[in-house]
Copies of this chain bind each other. A is one copy, B any other.
């Protein structure tokens, strides 16, 4: 498919494992996706230099597509470009993460506003079902399932805003924050109930198609989510004596 390209990926089989779905993806795109994952998943520590040669070997490509990907990641803010010193994985401060959460809150809040004017009754019903299912997981303290449904609800609202550019931007930012997800997906016992109540308010505002209410609730909900997550994070950091 990609061709025989002798030296590198003979045994590599780029087509089967990594590129799910998309057929003819450019090397650049594939490297971009893979490198972003490497960084977001923390395989490359924050603050670490990005070793071009090693990554080229690992990905089986030359430096050209890798460096193209690095420029894009730099534009996304995942990586810093040091003049004549290559790239380094960006280290996020707590303030950085807060700033990103506020951007997410901005996008999702606006999505909620727009959704109120554009969502169909069927979609509202679908979100209601997700809500009740999530409530069940909440009652049974099934955290992973709860988070899955939670995310589905938020995505449903973003979808209902009927704005692909907004959705794409939103997803871009959530992807960048997957590296903090481990903490965001922990939830303090007392926060959980509050979050559930906020979701009830969201559903109520959505049913009444109250743009302003839903926008406000979502905004505050996201900021509180950050506060809770950062507290959890700080606590676990303290536990480690760090």
Q: Which A residues lie at the B interface, using CB under 8 A?
A: 24, 26, 28, 32, 64, 67-69, 71-72, 75-77, 81, 83, 96, 99-100, 102-103, 105-107, 109-111, 113-114, 161, 163-166, 169, 212, 215-216, 219
Please tell me if the beta carbons of A110 and B105 are within 8 angstroms of each other in the complex: yes
Q: Are A166 and B71 in contact (CB under 8 A)?
A: no
Per the bound structure, the CA–CA distance linking A113 and B110 in Å amounts to 12
- Interface class of chain A by DSSP: helix
Residue among B72, B99, B165 making CB contact with A75, cutoff 8 Å: B72
Given contacts A64-B64, A106-B110, A110-B219, 9 further A-B pairs with CB under 8 A are A24-B83, A67-B68, A72-B72, A75-B76, A99-B166, A100-B165, A102-B165, A103-B163, A106-B166
Closest to A162 in B: B99
A12 to B161, CA, bound (A): 48
Q: How far is the CA of A74 from the CA of B118 in the complex (A)?
A: 29
Can you list 12 pairs linking A and B with CB atoms under 8 Å apart?
A64-B64, A96-B165, A99-B166, A102-B161, A102-B165, A102-B166, A103-B107, A106-B106, A106-B109, A107-B107, A109-B109, A109-B110
Q: Which of A64, A102, A161 has the most CB of B within 10 A?
A: A102
Is the beta-carbon distance between A102 and B114 smaller than 8 angstroms?
yes
